[in-house]
Amino acid sequence: MKKILFLFITIVFAVTLVACSESESVEGEVVNNDQEETTTEETNEVEEDSGTETQDINQSIADDENVSITLLRIEKIEDDIFGNSIEVVFEVENKTDRTLEVQADSVSADGKMVDETILSMSQEVAPGKIADAKLSFMEFEGHDFPALEQDLELTLNVFDWDDFDFSLDYPVSISFE
């Protein structure tokens, strides 16, 4: 008798959990849809409220048997919510039969080295493919944010994770004066 009662209570408990979880999941989907719509509306408002200044450059940095690198543009983004940022966009064409990684080293702006805490750039490019590599500067409290009023200098380091003997450096120098 105890086994039958235990089995009955277990089945009722399982059915209750299944019934509750289905209604929560449906409500969760509805809530998520509302959140997506809200997020989309907020994104549009942020885009309208934020100022983005784009400077098209289209300057060839390197063109050899390994890669073709072109500096496409610099975007200065003012955002009250996420903070100011700058994106330097390079187009990288991999002409080799190996997967290449592109990173920025020794970045200086307006004659001053930029703290690596506020910048990031790492882009993998498959053999025979083209990718946009973005050097991003993010404004963080306690770190100097570059104005990019005079110049931007850096070295693009192109290498293969599988063969550390393969490493190429391409200097980049842009004057804004």
Q: What is the pTM of this model?
A: 0.69
- For 42, list phi and psi in degrees, rounded to 5: -65, -40
User: How many helices and strands (H and E) does the chain possess?
Assistant: 1, 10
d(CA 59, CA 73): 9
Q: 51-175 maps to which CATH number?
A: 2.60.40
Confidence of residue 46 (pLDDT cuts 50, 70, 90): very low
Average pLDDT over residues 29-56: 50
Nearest CA to 125 out of 104, 105, 98 is that of 98
d(CA 133, CA 61): 13
**Which amino acid, residue 112?**
K
**Could you tell me the two tokens for 152?**
């931007």
* Residue pointed to by tokens 């979880």: 21
More confident residue, 101 or 22: 101
Domain spans, the chain:
1-49, 51-175
- For 166, list phi and psi in degrees, rounded to 5: -90, 105
b/e map 98-137, b = 16+ CB within 10 Å: eebebebeebebeeeebeeebbebebebeeeeebebbbbb
Average pLDDT over residues 48-53: 67
- Reduce the DSSP state of residue 35 to 3 states and report it: helix
Cα of first residue to Cα of last residue in the chain, in angstroms, is 91
16 pLDDT above the threshold of 80 = no
